[in-house]
Each structure stands twice: as C-alpha cells, then as structure tokens.
C-alpha cells in the first residue's frame, strides 16, 4: 500500500513479557517517528529516526524501550519486561526528505498488557 503500515494491529501480552512492534514507512521517506497515545490522551513523542540513526531519543520513557531502523525502511520498537502502564496505542509516522515537517501516520498498534 501507499501509506504507513504497522503490525500487529493489536497485541495482548502478559506483564513481564517482551514485545516488538513493527513500522513500515512510506517508500522514500527518510524520517520516521514513534509516538505513544494512552487512552483518551494526546500523543507522546518517543523517538525519531533520520535514515538509520536516531538523533532524538528523548521521549523514550525508560531503558525498557528501544528502537531500531534498518535500510532506511522498517523500524521496530521493542518494549522489554512490559508493564501495565505500557498499555497504549503506539503510532508510527514517516515524512519525506524534502518536506520534513509533515508526518504521515500509520494506523497504530494497540498494546494491552494484562
């Protein structure tokens, strides 16, 4: 498809387990962003990639959160030892190289930690 895709769309896990969330940006978009949206709230910035490097990791809430990106394409957000407060929708966005301030969002992954 032409848009940003994310998988899985829904993930239910038990507290303490690790989870991996995947984002496929729009082809040709060099910038990629991860956000978290808790129920009924706005978006919290987590991390930003320009190419494969992450110049801004300021939003990662703890060292249990990490992200990587390979080949200026797919990115994975990993949450280790999940906690109930990690339950949220995780949104990925990408932006083109010449218009870096307009971000196009994927449908999100809804994570539920039991």
Partner 1 sequence: AQKVTQAQTEISVVEKEDVTLDCVYETRDTTYYLFWYKQPPSGELVFLIRRNSFDEQNEISGRYSWNFQKSTSSFNFTITASQVVDSAVYFCALSEARTGANNLFFGTGTRLTVIP
Chain positions contacting partner 1, by CB under 8 A: 31, 33, 41-43, 45, 48, 55-56, 59, 89, 91, 93, 95, 100-108, 110
Q: Report yes or no: 8 and 108 within 8 Å, Cβ to Cβ.
A: no
Backbone phi, psi, residue 96, to 5°: -75, 165
Give least dist CB 81 to partner 1, A: 26
Closest to partner 1 by CB, 18 vs 68, is 68
> Closer to partner 1 at the Cβ: 25 or 106?
106
Instruction: For the CB of residue 35, give the shortest distance to partner 1 in the complex, in Å.
Output: 8
| Residue for token pair 């989870």 | 19
CA dihedral 62, 64, 68, 73 (to 10 degrees): -90
Distance from C-alpha of 105 to C-alpha of 57, rounded to nearest angstrom = 19
Least Å distance between CB 45 and partner 1? 4
The residue written with tokens 């218009």 in the block is 99
CB of 32 to partner 1, least distance (A): 11
* Minimum CB distance to partner 1 smaller for 33 or for 65: 33
Cis peptide before 40 (omega within 30 of 0): no
Beta carbon nearer to partner 1, 49 or 82: 49
């Amino acid at each position: 498809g032409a848009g940003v895709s994310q998988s899985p769309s829904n993930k239910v896990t038990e507290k303490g387990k690790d989870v991996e969330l995947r984002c496929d940006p729009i082809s040709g978009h060099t910038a990629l962003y991860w956000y978290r949206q808790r129920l009924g709230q706005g978006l919290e910035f987590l991390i930003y990639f320009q190419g494969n490097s992450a110049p801004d990791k300021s939003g990662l809430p703890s060292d249990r959160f990490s992200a990587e990106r390979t080949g200026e394409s797919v990115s994975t957000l990993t949450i280790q030892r999940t906690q109930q407060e990690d339950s949220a929708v995780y949104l990925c966005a990408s932006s083109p190289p010449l218009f870096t301030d307009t971000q196009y969002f994927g449908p999100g992954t809804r994570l539920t930690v039991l």
